[in-house]
Amino acid sequence: MSEPRRFALTPGEPAGIGPDLCLLLARQAQPHILVAIASRELLEQRAAQLGVPITVIAVGPSAWPSAPASAGSLYVWDTPLAAPAQAGHLDPHNAAYVLETLRRAGQGCLDGDFAGMITAPVHKGVINQAGVPFSGHTEFLAELTHTEQVVMMLATHGLRVALVTTHLPLKDVAAAITPERLERVTRILHADLVEKFGIAQPRILVCGLNPHAGEGGHLGREELDIIAPSLARLRDEGFDLIGPLPADTLFTPKHLEQCDAVLAMYHDQGLPVLKYKGFGAAVNVTLGLPIIRTSVDHGTAMDLAGTGRIDTGSLQVALETAYQMAGSRR
């Protein structure tokens, strides 16, 4: 067993299920030191509402713990709310609080206080409602770490799927798949599989864009003109890339058992398969950052906040993935 490392956990939107997830998870001991960056008052109030007897232990930069918390305890770096938080009721006044928890976690990773950060869901709408332009965790952390390009990858047991394009209207996807973007994304995926997952020579399956991967140009020329030439250039540098392959047959055991990750061209090409395979036990990983960041694969579930009727599976996988990445990091 390696020495325990310290990780930051941000509960996200205070009115959502993030605080509940952190508290329910604290019922079991963790192999590493987990520090929730959150309002201590919020967590104690939510614990009482849920009827979960969790002991909150105050920690911070002047007094970091050296051993994991015992079952039923949670280390908390107290970050005050701007206004009282009520489960299920959004309040724009707390937008700055949410962003401060992310800033503390991200900066702590950069400073070496944390080996990685794990994030529970935020509510983008209420942050923007507060007058703060906010696209999401990924963009916030890219700006904080001065990272120009990041890649979204979701993973579950037995499958990793990274995306060339993410949140774009379908009508804009083809134009966005340029040789430059495809090669940049592939390089980031390859580099992080090596550096953060410890895979010496990753094998990556690459989807085509069109049905049947273009059917030799009869169903679109992106494979012939952009994807195949880009992959050929990277293969010349030693990358192990298979494709472009038809997406409808790529996601089958015959192909997947021979690869370390799949690179999909757009959001709804790759993620429906992954979520069908592992919803509730999947993790969102941001590649390309100088830090380790994993996240749950679901939203704030406002209607379930404070009820206790939630599943901690995705957060547990996000924790385990962050632990594994930190242990494998070169």
Which residues sit in the known binding site?
Answer: 137-138, 167, 212, 267, 275, 284, 293
Question: Are the C-beta atoms of 262 and 135 separated by less than 8 Å?
Answer: no
What CA–CA distance (Å, rounded) separates 176 from 265? Answer: 10
Binding-site residues for substrate sit at 137-138, 275, 284, 293
What CA–CA distance (Å, rounded) separates 264 from 160? Answer: 10
What CA–CA distance (Å, rounded) separates 312 from 13? Answer: 16
Query: And the tokens for 176?
Result: 């966005």
Beta-ladder partners of 305: none
Spell out the residues 6+ positions from residue 127 whose beta carbon is closer than 8 angstroms to its own.
92, 95, 98, 99, 134
Spell out the residues 6+ positions from residue 191 whose beta carbon is closer than 8 angstroms to its own.
none
Query: And the tokens for 276?
Result: 């069908």
Binding-site residues for a divalent metal cation sit at 167, 212, 267
Instruction: Give, rounded to a whole angstrom, the gap between the first and last alpha carbons of the chain.
Output: 18
What CA–CA distance (Å, rounded) separates 302 from 299? Answer: 9
What CA–CA distance (Å, rounded) separates 155 from 217? Answer: 32
